[in-house]
Amino acid sequence: MDTSKKSSRQVSLKRAGVLKTRIDPYLAASAKLPTGMKLKDEIKARQAKIKEVLGASEDDWNDWHWQIENRIVDSDTLAKFITINSKQKQDIDDVAKKFRWAISPYFLSLIEPEGDHYKNPIYLQAVPTGLELVEGIGSPDPMAEEFTNPAPCITRRYPDRLIINVTNQCGMYCRHCQRRRNIGEIDKPQSKENLQAAVDYIKNTPEIRDVLVTGGDPFTLSDEMLDWLLGELDNIPHLEFKRIGTRMPVTLPQRVTPELCEMLKKHHPLFINLQFNSQMEITEETKKSCEMLANAGIPLGNQSVLLRGVNDHPYIMKKICQELLTIRVRPYYIFHAKGVVGTMHFRTSVDIGIEIMEHLRGYTSGLAIPTFIINAPEGRGKTPMLPEYLISQGRDTVTIRTWEGQIIKYPNKDAEVGFE
């Protein structure tokens, strides 16, 4: 090897050593993080106990209708599966008088029966705590959706796209839900008449090119109703594509069946956005559900909510994003938690979100980096929050900061040559 090659190799090896020191702290922390995949045997054991207590067969367990019908909705039933103290039980009962709650048997199986539940990311998302009853903070509708619905079921905040809210039902009721005001005590899908009115509004609004079907959770609708609605949207010439926002592949993955996937394949171009908020939610079952949807040709994105005590640490969010790619889900957004009444204990500072983004850019694949979003109050739309990489602008150069914190000058000029 000549001297120049030896020198460049030495420089490269030295640089590789520096890069290794930058990733070592995360690797050490990541090895200690529990994940749904690592704990698959423990989760299977919990599922066996739940099936035994509820008298369920394996076929029952894999039937999404059974999962819906057997959601746990009271503290006495919950106490058959996990240990809750008297205060936790009282909190659950008190919250239930004001806000509905329910957890699917599957999602319950992700909660460790013993231990400090207030440090468990699944428990915090699924089971009420007394913090939901703190008075005087938050709004029932911080996004002012009441004033952005020009037709039944419609929410419109942007020039070329809108939302159809098709139901108030979900596979479970997340404690951080932005639309908890709509849940009520009865699961109530929108009537076909209201959905038709929404379709008619889109037909008569030619600037709309993109529709998000959401709720509640659209996957609580029957295959037949979803097929009808997507078919109606397919027939609108100016509509370019559809999206579905669902959490059921995460909280109730049994909903994703071969029949559902065959039906959805008829309605391309179609995109699905999910909501994984913890690495504990990425399990063998959710992997299967996501792979079935991906194999049906549907691009999958993830929209995490930044939740205090659940995922508000750079290493946890990085782990989630990296694990998602292994099950063919692209991290898309991290949402700053909205100021919804009963959910304010989940809110972090905006600084936490920006810190998380600092620990992603350059430290992991670009595919694993979502956009951190604040939803501006009163329906003013999504606003991206980014670390500051542009330091200053001059006539011929800009000053930028790299992901490693290096400050450098960069040319800021148009090309001086071109075609005559």
In this predicted model, what pLDDT tens digit does every residue of 65-82 receive, in sequence order? 999 999 999 999 999 999
Q: Residue 117 — pLDDT band, cuts 50, 70, 90? A: very high
Q: Which of 166, 194, 132, 126 is nearest to 341 (CA)?
A: 132
Which parts of 90-191 are beta strand (E)? 154-155, 161-165
Q: Phi/psi zone of residue 74: left (φ > 0), alpha (ψ -120 to 50 degrees), beta?
A: beta
pLDDT at 4 over 70: no
Place of tokens 């039933």: 77
CB 187 within 8 A of CB 166: no
Question: What average pLDDT does the segment 369-392 reach?
Answer: 91
pLDDT at 1 over 80: no
In percent, how much of the chain has pLDDT > 70?
A: 98
Three-point CA angle 217, 222, 225, nearest 5°: 95
pLDDT at 3 over 90: no
Query: In this predicted structure, which of 210-214, 273-277, 334-338, 380-384 has the lowest mean pLDDT?
Result: 380-384
Q: Which residues of 123-154 are buried (b: 16+ CB within 10 A; e: fewer)?
A: bbbbbbbebbeeeeebeebbbebeebeebbbb
pLDDT of res. 420: 66
pLDDT of res. 287: 98
Query: How does the average pLDDT of the chain come out, rounded?
Result: 94
CB 173 within 8 A of CB 101: yes
Query: In this predicted structure, which of 53-62, 192-201, 372-381, 387-396 has the lowest mean pLDDT?
Result: 372-381
Cα(19)–Cα(45) distance, integer angstroms: 41
Question: What average pLDDT does the segment 90-116 reach?
Answer: 96
pLDDT of res. 322: 98
Q: Residue 411 — pLDDT band, cuts 50, 70, 90? A: very high
Rounded to whole angstroms, the maximal C-alpha distance in the chain is 81
pLDDT of res. 379: 76
Question: What average pLDDT does the segment 24-46 reach?
Answer: 97
pLDDT of res. 170: 94
Q: Which of 316, 302, 308 is nearest to 371 (CA)?
A: 302
pLDDT at 321 over 80: yes
Helices (H) and strands (E) in the chain, counts: 15, 12
Question: What average pLDDT does the segment 213-236 reach?
Answer: 97
In the chain, the domains with their CATH numbers are: 40-126 (no CATH), 145-385 (3.20.20.70)
In percent, how much of the chain has pLDDT > 90?
A: 86
pLDDT at 143 over 80: no
Beta bridge partners of 392: 399
Number of other residues whose CB lies within 10 A of the CB of residue 187: 15
Q: Residue 2 — pLDDT band, cuts 50, 70, 90? A: low
pLDDT of res. 276: 98
pLDDT at 342 over 80: yes
Q: Residue 179 — pLDDT band, cuts 50, 70, 90? A: confident
pLDDT at 392 over 80: yes
pLDDT of res. 417: 84
Whole-number Cα distances in Å, 305 to 99, 174, 177, 219 = 20, 11, 10, 20
DSSP letter assigned to residue 144 = -
Question: What average pLDDT does the segment 400-419 reach?
Answer: 89
pLDDT at 175 over 70: yes
Number of residues assigned to the chain: 420
Residue 252: both structure tokens together: 């109730």
Cα(174)–Cα(180) distance, integer angstroms: 9
